[in-house]
Amino acid sequence: MSDLGNQRDIDFTVDKSNLYREESITDLKAAVIRRLVPVRPDGSEDTSRTPIFVGTTQLMTPEGPLPIQARLMANTLAEAFEEFPSAMQQALQEVVAQIQEMRQQQASKQKSEQSRIIVPGR
């Protein structure tokens, strides 16, 4: 529980000025597009704000499914469909770069730990 810090300091207040209704659109193959529609506290659509589109997909790896997600710079669902492939490609490149960096850090850490081993007679 110490990882959570003081639970009394957690703010669970709902930001009523930043509410969205989530809709999910899928092609049942690779694409899932979430449309976050701005709403008012009474649930009615807030047309003064622009919807947010988020693309999601999964890639199968030897370690299991790898979720890929990216914000789609689109104002309409049709634009989101067009943006999806390039956004997923960019997100995948970022994930691969992060994995490579983590591997390099891990290899570097292992090297430094191995260099601290004192072998008698050397």
45, part of any domain: yes
pLDDT in tens, 28-58: 999 999 999 999 999 999 999 999 999 999 9
Provide the number of structural domains found in the chain.
1
- pTM for this entry: 0.75
8, part of any domain: no
35, part of any domain: yes
pLDDT in tens, 90-105: 999 999 999 899 989 8
6, part of any domain: no
1, part of any domain: no
Q: What is the 3-state secondary structure (H, E, C) of the chain?
A: CHHHCCHHHCCCCCCCCCEEEEEEEECCCCCEEEEEEEECCCCCECCCCCCEEEEEEEEEECCEEEEEEEEECCCCHHHHHHHHHHHHHHHHHHHHHHHHHHHHHHHHHHHHHHHCCCCCCC
Domain limits at 51? Answer: 14-112
